Structure 1
Amino acid sequence: MRAMTWAIFQNVTKFDQTSTFVIQLVTFFLFVFFCWLAAHGLTVLETLATLAGSATFVMSLLYILMMFAAPAINPAVSFHSIDLSWKNLVPNFNVNYFTSLSILVFAVGGCEKISPYVNKLKHPSKNFPKAMIALAIMVMVSAILGTIAMAMMFDPNDVKNNFDSYIANGDYWAFQKLGNYYHLGNTLLVIYAITNVIGQFSTLCLSIDAPLRILLGSKEAKEFIPAGLLKKNKYGAYVNGIKMVGILSGAIILSQSLVPGAAKVMSQLIKLNSTMMPLRYLWVFAAYIALRKAHDKYQSDYVFAKHQGIAYFFGTWCFLITAACCLLGIYSTDPFALTLNIVTPLVLVALGVILPMVKKYQDQKNNKAE
């Protein structure tokens, strides 16, 4: 909705002035609509998501290149000076610093999704590490250059004093300023906003459907998931699973309807996401340690480390660092945000415990009936 506002009005004033309750109510109905859409096929949206994702990546790179090239095109462009002395590069190790570390883990989130394809590489032991290193370098370079570009474009003191607004609108303001540098008006802003609208809507729909297919589509799911959640419709979508997602996410949407200010809602959601997403990886690292303990039972063309001690060290190290970053990231001075950050993971973990229990009860009941 924010992206649509920027695309239509080229500013976000009307959106921010609208009651949070109204915005969250509209968001809820949009979410329900996309839950319905996810249950009715995704072919078109998958294509749009691919195009929008590629376009967003290209525009991010263009922003960095065009930002640094602007003075050569328009000598009137003036940037804020950046002091890159050692004292400014070393962060202040305070509460704000440690509670923001989860965003660093979140930055490389998603790379675990390529794990099923590791053994399909021609030379997994050589090519997979190279791919992961390349991924980390791309994220690092984009983050560093993008941060420097935005620091040159915006006054750090203004960012600090209007932090929530910059989290919600910073990328739009950046493209708006960039367009002014090149005498293009709001053209770049509108293109970026439209790209965001398509990308966010298609990603929303895919994010409802894809995780359910991974969770409920495996052969092991029948052993731990209640039969009702495994029900499919004629489109192959897990209808009851979509309803479950609708209830969980809908509860978060409606709970924020009383939060003052749309920018504040956006800030809370970004922080919640940066904490909840990395928390999932704790299960990945725990599973890795468990697999290494049973390494003689499984064969793989690629292993991270052949030596058991090294494997245990890095598995444990990743687990502890991720856990620490996420637990620190949960902390917030805002009571509502703190409650949301605590309750959400507890509910999801509880759900993971309850579903197998329900399945076990169903099996016992069916056995008695037989």
Structure 2
Amino acid sequence: MENSKKIVWYNLAFMAFSTVWGFGNVLNGFVYFNGIQVIFSWILMFALYFVPYALMVGELGSAFKDSGGGVSSWINETMGPKIAYYAGWTYWACHVTYIASKGSGGLKALSWAIFRNAETYDTLPTLYVQLATLAVFLFFCWVASRGLNPLKKLTTLAGSSMFVMSILYIVMMFAAPIINPNGGYLTPDFSWDNIIPQFNVQYFTSLSILVFAVGGCEKISPYVNKVENPSKGFPKGMIALAVMVVVCAILGTIAMGMMFDPTVINGSTESFNSYVSNGSYWAFQKLGEYYHVGDLLLIIYALCNMIGQFSTLVLSIDAPLRMLLDNEQAREFIPTKLLKQNKYGAYINGIWMVIILSGSIILIQTFVPNAAAVLAQLNKLNSVTMPMRYLWVFAAYIALRKGIEKFNPEYRFAKSQGVAYFFGFWCFIVTAACCILGMYVPGDIGSTLLNVITPIVLTLLGIILPIIKKYEK
């Protein structure tokens, strides 16, 4: 009876797949890595980073099955409450930049759903676009402050529909030449010279995009001990996940190679930015043309994306803040004023802190040349800041292996301590290097400064708060 409630390894793989993967990952890889050349980088990233990362998460989840499964709880168990506060702070701070991008992304999706073109949104003055983004952001901050989260249920629905649209795109694109042979498809060049990328500055400063794409599998850690035969079932599930993701990444990239010419994408900075912000919509618009259904697929995708962006916005204002401020260990390092709750139970001063920090990023971007450049800049900023939270996963894993006899997890990624330490440090160094290298944007001083200054400001703020709390005591 007990065994019937256990999760089979392939069910775990599908659960993780829908959590980790999305259509935007395929687009970003294709645009930033010169079309089908990204296939080489995807394979390396999955083999040398994603698989060990997922298996380490499994061991952490197994060791701390009663600790809620969060990174902060792992750090608290292995390194103590003060370090756990910094881990919780990092997780929250990463969402500051993420929040700033969701309003812009939602408005872009709404524009595509209504006007069905890129020009309407992209040609609007940046000042007007950013003021509209600020207005949307402030509205959802107000929603969060009232304890109202009407879009929570829509988040799961939107996430599921976007996942379905990603798979649908690949299937329909490969079937299109058979159904409509005269669609005007491109033929990707799979010659050796075209598949192997050029390992230049552009390549290494873009790797954070791939790290950002494959991260986040720690969300499934609570399910480790619910898997049938965890020591064998979990690694099988994670390897199946990696195979599914790499197959989707490769097939999705080939499908895009049949649509878009990388030389056009990289023709100019304006063209590149336009593809970063509009490429996914153009993909579904072209797909609709191939199947003679007009803009139907585009509108469905744009509406799904709009709901997803706005629902993620309200959740990102509320959920990470609660995870930080509800944590008993973290509260002893946070000034009392930030812990103030209004009559609706919302951390009102915490929301004000979000307004100041995310609002500042939104207003800074009024100086960016156009709306497409804003989305491209935010995409790169997120790829630099969001993976910083993964550093704590690897730090927790190294600390776990240091005290392996004490914690004794049911499932172990590697029996050898040397192998375990190697992969723990390897993934930590790769993540840190990609984040640091990703800060540099060739030919764009403004974006580079934003990528450098934002993490520094957020880190300093995280250091200052415990000092204020200490004086308060």
The TM-score by the shorter chain falls in which range?
over 0.9
Note if 1:355 corresponds to 2:461: no
Given that 2:144 and 2:346 are in contact with CA atoms closer than 8 Å, whether structure 1 keeps it comes out as yes
- Residue 436 of structure 2 aligns with an amino acid whose one-letter code is L
Superposition deviation, residue 6 in structure 1? 0.5
Quick one: which of 23, 42, 53 aligns to 2:159?
A: 53
Matches within 5 A, 1:1-370: 1-161=107-267, 162-332=271-441, 333-363=443-473
Which has the higher mean CA deviation after the structures are superposed, 347-356 or 255-264? 347-356
Deviations 1:19-52 (A, max 9, x none): 1011111101111111111223355311101111
Hey, what's the Cα distance between the residues in 1 that align with 2:406 and 2:337? 33
* 1:44 partner SS: coil
- Residue 351 of structure 2 aligns with an amino acid whose one-letter code is I
Hey, what's the Cα distance between the residues in 2 that align with 1:302 and 1:246? 42
Superposition deviation, residue 149 in structure 1? 0.7
Superposition deviation, residue 334 in structure 1? 0.5
* 2:184 partner SS: coil
Given that 1:119 and 1:300 are in contact with CA atoms closer than 8 Å, whether structure 2 keeps it comes out as no
- Residue 180 of structure 1 aligns with an amino acid whose one-letter code is E
Which has the higher mean CA deviation after the structures are superposed, 253-262 or 108-117? 108-117
Hey, what's the Cα distance between the residues in 1 that align with 2:232 and 2:342? 42
Unaligned 5+ segments in structure 1 are: 364-370
Given that 1:49 and 1:202 are in contact with CA atoms closer than 8 Å, whether structure 2 keeps it comes out as yes
Shift in alpha-carbon separation, 1:230–1:136, aligned structure 2, 3 A = farther
Superposition deviation, residue 84 in structure 1? 0.7
Given that 2:113 and 2:299 are in contact with CA atoms closer than 8 Å, whether structure 1 keeps it comes out as yes
Which has the higher mean CA deviation after the structures are superposed, 234-243 or 96-105? 234-243
Superposition deviation, residue 345 in structure 1? 0.8
Shift in alpha-carbon separation, 1:137–1:217, aligned structure 2, 3 A = farther
Which has the higher mean CA deviation after the structures are superposed, 213-222 or 90-99? 213-222
Superposition deviation, residue 56 in structure 1? 0.6
Which has the higher mean CA deviation after the structures are superposed, 180-189 or 350-359? 350-359
- Residue 159 of structure 1 aligns with an amino acid whose one-letter code is I
Deviations 1:87-108 (A, max 9, x none): 1111101111111111111111
Given that 2:395 and 2:428 are in contact with CA atoms closer than 8 Å, whether structure 1 keeps it comes out as yes
Given that 2:149 and 2:315 are in contact with CA atoms closer than 8 Å, whether structure 1 keeps it comes out as no
Hey, what's the Cα distance between the residues in 2 that align with 1:192 and 1:116? 31
Which has the higher mean CA deviation after the structures are superposed, 278-287 or 147-156? 278-287
**Which residue matches 1:367?**
none
Shift in alpha-carbon separation, 1:348–1:177, aligned structure 2, 3 A = same
Superposition deviation, residue 310 in structure 1? 1.9
* 1:76 partner SS: coil
* 1:224 partner SS: coil
Shift in alpha-carbon separation, 1:233–1:119, aligned structure 2, 3 A = farther
Hey, what's the Cα distance between the residues in 2 that align with 1:116 and 1:224? 26
Which has the higher mean CA deviation after the structures are superposed, 284-293 or 43-52? 284-293
Hey, what's the Cα distance between the residues in 2 that align with 1:298 and 1:227? 34
Give the superposed CA RMSD. 1.6
Shift in alpha-carbon separation, 1:47–1:337, aligned structure 2, 3 A = same
Hey, what's the Cα distance between the residues in 1 that align with 2:148 and 2:174? 39
Hey, what's the Cα distance between the residues in 2 that align with 1:132 and 1:229? 39
Hey, what's the Cα distance between the residues in 1 that align with 2:418 and 2:324? 31
Superposition deviation, residue 273 in structure 1? 0.6
Shift in alpha-carbon separation, 1:14–1:43, aligned structure 2, 3 A = closer
Superposition deviation, residue 139 in structure 1? 2.6
Aligned length: 363
Shift in alpha-carbon separation, 1:38–1:138, aligned structure 2, 3 A = farther
> TM-score, normalising length from structure 2?
0.74
* 1:320 partner SS: helix
